[in-house]
């Protein structure tokens, strides 16, 4: 089994088990199982129109034998449970929203992974990572920082960072609390392979840069 796939799979599995005892309903307003659609940029004689699959648009004017160019946009837009951001269109998409008390979306690249958890009740980021460390084996993990932070749409999200070595692969997991709803826990979690230099992967850094520039709070 590919080591990266193995590591990524463990994250969602441990959390589904650890929260299975809770039973309150998290409201749903969209089809939260559907992958965000690809966007396209249509150019007609210099006019640019953004297109999405199945969404009708009106052209800005009439054209006679126009020169047309269609380009696939490099990003999809994640818009669920109070947040919106762009992410690379080639990332895989998984939605686990069947449980009343638990929702999780996973966006997976080759090295970098974005996870978004929505849960009833309160769960600090350190406890989230401690539960993860128990599943991975504490001897393989170290919670390195309880003062991690990231700025998204001019808000500072606070969190914790876990370093782990699994199947010979060094990874870093950052969990940040999304301050939207007092009765729910919403966690934005990033998992990245750690290079020999100790830095993030190129994919991880590029994805975070895109998220920072496009992130919006919707609630």
Domain range summary for the chain, segments of one domain joined by +: 7-31+75-217, 39-72
**Average pLDDT of 106-125?**
96
Task: Give me Rg for the CA atoms of the chain.
Answer: 19
**Number of neighbouring beta carbons within 10 Å of residue 54:** 6
47-85 pLDDT, tens digit each:
999 998 888 999 999 999 999 999 999 999 999 999 999
In angstroms, the CA 193 to CA 113 distance is: 9
Are 144 and 125 in contact by the 8 Å Cβ rule? The answer is no
**What is the DSSP pairing of strand 92-96 with strand 102-108?**
antiparallel
Q: What is the pTM of this model?
A: 0.82
Phi-psi region of 97 (alpha: psi -120 to 50; beta: other; left: phi over 0): alpha
Q: Is 172 a residue whose pLDDT tops 60?
A: yes
Residue pair 153/83 in contact (Cβ under 8 Å)? The answer is no
Range scoring the smallest mean pLDDT among 23-32, 114-123, 176-185: 23-32
pLDDT at 134: 92
The percent of residues above 70 in pLDDT, for the chain, comes to 86
Mean pLDDT confidence for 85-114: 96
- For the segment 146-166, the average pLDDT, to the nearest whole number, is 94
The burial of 34, by beta-carbon neighbours within 10 Å (0-12 exposed, 13-18 middle, 19 or more buried), is given as: exposed
Q: What is the pLDDT of residue 14?
A: 45
For position 17, what pLDDT does the model report? 38
CA dist 111 and 130 (Å) reads: 23
Domain over 7-31+75-217 is classified CATH 1.10.1040.10: no
- Give the pLDDT of residue 27: 42
pLDDT confidence bin for 185, thresholds 50/70/90: very high
Q: What does the pLDDT read at residue 183?
A: 85
How sure is the predictor about 2, in pLDDT bands with cuts at 50, 70 and 90?
low
Nearest to 92 by CA among 39, 35, 37, 52: 35
C-beta of residue 90 within 8 angstroms of C-beta of residue 152: no
Q: What is the pLDDT of residue 47?
A: 94
Residues forming a β-bridge with 75: 88
């Amino acid at each position: 089994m590919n080591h990266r796939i193995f590591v990524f799979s463990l994250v969602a599995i441990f959390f589904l088990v650890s929260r299975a005892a809770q039973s309150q309903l998290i409201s749903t307003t969209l089809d939260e199982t559907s992958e965000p659609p690809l966007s396209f940029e249509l150019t007609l004689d210099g006019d640019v129109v953004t297109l999405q699959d199945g969404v009708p648009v009106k052209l800005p004017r009439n054209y006679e034998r126009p020169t047309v160019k269609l380009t696939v946009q490099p990003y999809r837009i994640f818009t669920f449970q109070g947040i919106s951001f762009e992410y690379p269109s080639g990332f895989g998409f998984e939605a686990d929203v069947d449980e009343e008390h638990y929702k999780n979306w996973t966006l997976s690249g080759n090295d970098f992974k974005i996870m978004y958890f929505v849960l009833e009740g309160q769960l600090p980021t350190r406890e989230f990572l401690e539960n993860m460390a128990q599943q991975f084996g504490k001897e393989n993990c170290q919670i390195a920082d309880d003062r991690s932070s990231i700025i998204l749409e001019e808000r500072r999200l606070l969190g914790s960072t876990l370093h782990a070595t699994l199947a010979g692969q060094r990874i870093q997991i950052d969990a940040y609390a999304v301050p939207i709803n007092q009765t729910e826990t919403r966690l934005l979690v990033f998992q990245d392979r750690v290079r020999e230099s100790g830095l993030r992967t190129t994919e991880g850094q590029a994805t975070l840069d895109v998220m920072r520039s496009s992130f919006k709070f919707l609630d």
